[in-house]
Chains A and B, each alone.
Chain A
Amino acid sequence: MASLSSPQQALLRSLAARIVPAAAALGTAEQAEMMHLIAEALSDRTPEVRRQFAAFLTLVRWAPAARYGRPFDALAPERQDAVLRYLQDCPVQLLRAGFWGVRTLILMGFYARPAAGATFGYTPVLDGNAVIHAADQR
C-alpha cells in the first residue's frame, strides 16, 4: 500500500468514523480492506491528483488547529462534524470538491467491499428475474 502513509491511514480512519459511523466498528481485516481499496483507487490516478489528495488531507488535519487549537484527529466528534460540514459547504469550490473527493474515497472503501453488501441489504444474484417472479408470487 505504497500510496498511503501511516499518518494518512490514521486520519482516513478518523474521517471514516464520521462519514460512515459503522466504519468505526470494522475489524482489523475490514479496515485494512477499506484502506487497500482507497490506495488502489489512488494508484490509478495521476501523480497530480495524488498530490492534491495528500495536500487536502494535510489541510483537513491541521486547519482545525487555527480555530480549536488541535488537529482534526484530536477533536471531539461534534467538532469533527462541524469541520466536515464547513468543508462540505465551503464558499471555495476547490475545498468543497476536495472534501467531496475524500468523502467519495471513504465511501468507496466502505461500500465497495464485496463481502459487505449483505450487511446493508444488497445481495445480487445472476437470475434476478427469478427473484422478481418469486416476490410477485408472495
Chain B
Amino acid sequence: MQQISADVVIIGSGAGGGTVAKELAPLCRDGVRTVVLEAGPRLRDDEFTGREFEMARTLYVDGGGFLTEDKSMTLAFGRAYGGSTVVYTGTSLTVTEPAIRRWGVPGLAHDDVLRRSRKYLGENHVHLLDVADLNDNNRLFADGCRTLGYRVEQFPLNLKGCTGAGVCNLGCPTGAKMGTHRVQLPEAERQGVTVVTNCTADRIEERAVVATVRAHTHGEPSAWQPGEYRISAKAVVVAGGAVGSPALLLRSRLSASLPALGRYFTCHPALILVAQHERPITNYAGHPKSYYCDHFADSDGFLLETCMYFPFTTAKSLTGFGADHSRMMSAMDRLQMILVLAIDPPEPDNRVLVDRAGRPVVRYAFTEQVRQSLVRAMRASARIFFAAGAARVHAPASSRFFIEASEAGRIDDLIPTSGLTLGKVAIASAHPMGGCRMGSDAATSVTDAWGQVHGVPWLFAADASLFPRCAEINPYITIMALADRVAERVRGRLPDLRASTP
C-alpha cells in the first residue's frame, strides 16, 4: 500500500466536493496540499456520445438503476469527474426560506444559504433560456398549467453555448453544462489541487483515507497509478453523495458514536407520465427541462417538472407490456412527458446501511403521505396533458394503459390510489439527500451546521447528505452553498488541525 501525505482530502468531485476543492484551492499557494478522490472516470470531450446505454453505464452508479433494498425504487446518481453535475439538467433553483426553517438547524440561516447560492448562480452562468429555444414538450406543459390556473415557472439553467442536444442526463456532448467538471474542478486544478479519478475511498481511518485506484477503461488515465493508497491528512471532507458518504462513514472505524448516521434519508421519489399527441411535436430536440410547477408543493406535497427521456428510460417508466406499450413507444416524436416528484418527510428508518462487503444498501419505505402525493401528482399531470391537447395519457398507476382525451373528466377514478403498486410501478429518484444530516444534537444528527462530524474535529461532510430534510427543489445549488460553508470552516480550522496532527 502506497503512503501519501496531504493536508486536505476531499472524497467526491460533484456539487459538494468540486465546490470545496475550488474554495480551498487558493491555499495551494501557501503549500496546502489538497487531493480530490473521485470514483468515476474523467471522460474526454469526444467520449460524451449521448448514447443511452453507453453513457448511463459509464457515468452513473449501476447505470442509473441503483435499487433500494426492497427493489421498489431505483436511484440515479453520477460517478464521474464532476459527479452528478455531469448528468443533471442544470436546473438551478435556490432553496426557499420556509424549507430552511423546516430544516431547523441552529446556526443555519436562509440569508446565508441564499447569499452563497447566488455566488454559484453567477459562477455557473445561470440564466433563463430564450423562449425561442424552448421545444413543444416544454411549451405545452406551460400552456396546460396556465389554462388550468396552475403556477408555472421557467427553470434557471447553468448553460453556456447550449445547442439543444437534449441529452443532458447522459452528459452534455457539447460541453455546454456548467457543472463542477467545467467550472470548479478545472479552476481548482489550475491552482494546484490534484484530482484522482477512478479512485474509490474504501474507508476512513484516524486522519487518513484508504483508497483504491482502478485501471481506467474510459477517458483519461488517473493521476495516480492503479493500486492501494493510504492518504494521511489534516482534514477529510466526504462529498460522495447521500448514498456514498454515509456508507463510507459506516464502514470506517470512527471513534465517535453517531446513532443518526445513515438515517433520515429522503429522495423526492419520482414518476414519469407520458402523453401521446396526434401529431409530431418537438420534444427530444432542445433542452429537456425548462419549466416547473410548484403550485401543489404546500397543499399536496408534490412538484411537477418537464422532462424528456431517452427510449429505454421512457420504456421502462411505462407500466405494463405488450401491444399498448409498443404503441406508445412507436412514435417518440409525439410524446410529451412530465416528471412528478414527491416531497418526502425525513424518517429515521429510511436509511443508508452497508452490507457485509461494505456496499451501500438503501432501505426506504413509502409513507402514506408520499403515496398520496404521487397519486395526486399523476392526476394533476394528466389534466395538464389534456389541457395541452394530448390525445391520450399513460399514468403508471392507472387502471388501464391509456386514458383517452374523451375520459378526461374521469381522471380521479382512472388513477386510483390503489394503483400505486410498489414493484410494479417504476419509481425513481435522482435527488438522494440526508444520511449525514446537520443539527446540534448528536442523537438526531451527524454534523454541526458547518458540516463537521460530531466528535471528530478533522472530519467533515459537504454534500446532499447534510440535508436534515429534503430540499423541496432540485438540490444542486443548495449543495454548493452548504459546501461553500464547509470550505470556509475547513479553511478556518486548518491551522489548528495542522498544528494538532501528530
Q: Is the CB of B173 within 8 A of A120?
A: no
Measured CA separation A132–B72 after assembly (Å): 37
Q: Is the CB of A112 within 8 A of B135?
A: no
A residues 1-31 with Cβ under 8 Å of B?
18-22
B residues 307-351 with Cβ under 8 Å of A?
310-312, 314-316, 320-323, 325-326, 329-334
User: Which of the residues B54, B71, B167, B333 comes within 8 Å of A101, measured between beta carbons?
Assistant: B71
B136 neighbours in A (Cβ, 8 Å): 135
Q: Is the CB of B316 within 8 A of A44?
A: no
Q: Is the CB of B424 within 8 A of A111?
A: no
Q: Is the CB of A44 within 8 A of B62?
A: yes
A135 neighbours in B (Cβ, 8 Å): 136, 282
A125 neighbours in B (Cβ, 8 Å): 165, 285
B286 neighbours in A (Cβ, 8 Å): 128-129, 131-132
Which of B45-53, B119-127, B369-377 participates in binding chain A? B45-53
User: Which of the residues B316, B321, B331, B426 comes within 8 Å of A18, measured between beta carbons?
Assistant: B321
A81 neighbours in B (Cβ, 8 Å): 322
Q: Is the CB of A21 within 8 A of B53?
A: no
Q: Is the CB of B284 within 8 A of A120?
A: no
* Whole-angstrom distance between the Cβ of B394 and the nearest chain A Cβ: 14
Closest partner residue, chain B, to A105 (CB atom): B316
User: Which of the residues A21, A93, A132 comes within 8 Å of B322, measured between beta carbons?
Assistant: A21
* Whole-angstrom distance between the Cβ of B306 and the nearest chain A Cβ: 14
Most buried by A among B174, B314, B424: B424
Given A44-B63, A96-B421, A116-B311, A132 and B282 touching (CB < 8 A)?
yes
- The yes or no answer to B246 lying at the interface (CB within 8 A) is no
B52 neighbours in A (Cβ, 8 Å): 112, 114
B residues 93-132 with Cβ under 8 Å of A?
132
Q: Is the CB of B332 within 8 A of A121?
A: yes
Measured CA separation A121–B332 after assembly (Å): 5
- The yes or no answer to B134 lying at the interface (CB within 8 A) is yes
**A-contact 0/1 string along B167-208, CB 8 Å cutoff:** 100000110000000000000000000000000000000000
Q: Is the CB of A112 within 8 A of B311?
A: yes
B167 neighbours in A (Cβ, 8 Å): 124
Q: Is the CB of B62 within 8 A of A45?
A: yes
Q: Is the CB of A21 within 8 A of B423?
A: no
User: Which of the residues A21, A84, A96, A122 comes within 8 Å of B311, measured between beta carbons?
Assistant: A122
Measured CA separation A62–B330 after assembly (Å): 32
Q: Is the CB of A132 within 8 A of B164?
A: yes
B284 neighbours in A (Cβ, 8 Å): 122, 124, 128
Most buried by B among A40, A96, A101: A96
Given A44-B57, A112-B53, A121-B332, A97 and B322 touching (CB < 8 A)?
no
Measured CA separation A19–B390 after assembly (Å): 25
Q: Is the CB of B316 within 8 A of A104?
A: yes
User: Which of the residues A41, A46, A96, A107 comes within 8 Å of B315, measured between beta carbons?
Assistant: A107
* Whole-angstrom distance between the Cβ of B288 and the nearest chain A Cβ: 9
B166 neighbours in A (Cβ, 8 Å): 124, 128
Q: Is the CB of A20 within 8 A of B321?
A: yes
User: Which of the residues B174, B325, B330, B421 comes within 8 Å of A121, measured between beta carbons?
Assistant: B330
**B-contact 0/1 string along A100-138, CB 8 Å cutoff:** 110110011011101011001110111111111101100
* Whole-angstrom distance between the Cβ of A20 and the nearest chain B Cβ: 6
Q: Is the CB of A111 within 8 A of B321?
A: no
B413 neighbours in A (Cβ, 8 Å): none
Given A44-B57, A124-B166, A100 and B426 touching (CB < 8 A)?
yes
A120 neighbours in B (Cβ, 8 Å): 311, 329-332
* Whole-angstrom distance between the Cβ of B133 and the nearest chain A Cβ: 5
B72 neighbours in A (Cβ, 8 Å): 93, 97
B132 neighbours in A (Cβ, 8 Å): 132-133, 136
Q: Is the CB of A122 within 8 A of B134?
A: no
Measured CA separation A51–B280 after assembly (Å): 43
B54 neighbours in A (Cβ, 8 Å): 114
Q: Is the CB of A22 within 8 A of B423?
A: no
Q: Is the CB of A122 within 8 A of B312?
A: no
- The yes or no answer to B359 lying at the interface (CB within 8 A) is yes
Q: Is the CB of B323 within 8 A of A21?
A: yes
Measured CA separation A21–B325 after assembly (Å): 10
- The yes or no answer to A37 lying at the interface (CB within 8 A) is yes
Measured CA separation A20–B312 after assembly (Å): 12
User: Which of the residues A19, A22, A44, A131 comes within 8 Å of B282, measured between beta carbons?
Assistant: A131
- The 10 closest A-B CB pairs, nearest first, are A128-B164, A128-B285, A96-B423, A97-B71, A129-B164, A131-B285, A111-B311, A112-B53, A121-B333, A97-B423
Q: Write 12 A-B pairs (CB below 8 A) sorted by A numbering.
A: A18-B322, A20-B315, A45-B62, A93-B423, A94-B70, A94-B423, A111-B329, A127-B165, A129-B162, A132-B134, A132-B135, A132-B282
Q: Name A residues whose Cβ lies closer than 8 Å to a Cβ of B.
A: 18-22, 37, 40-41, 44-46, 81, 84, 88-89, 93-94, 96-97, 100-101, 103-104, 107-108, 110-112, 114, 116-117, 120-122, 124-133, 135-136
Additional pairs, 15, CB under 8 Å, beyond known A93-B71, A107-B316, A120-B331: A96-B423, A97-B70, A97-B423, A100-B426, A101-B71, A116-B311, A122-B284, A125-B285, A126-B50, A128-B163, A129-B162, A129-B163, A129-B285, A132-B132, A135-B136
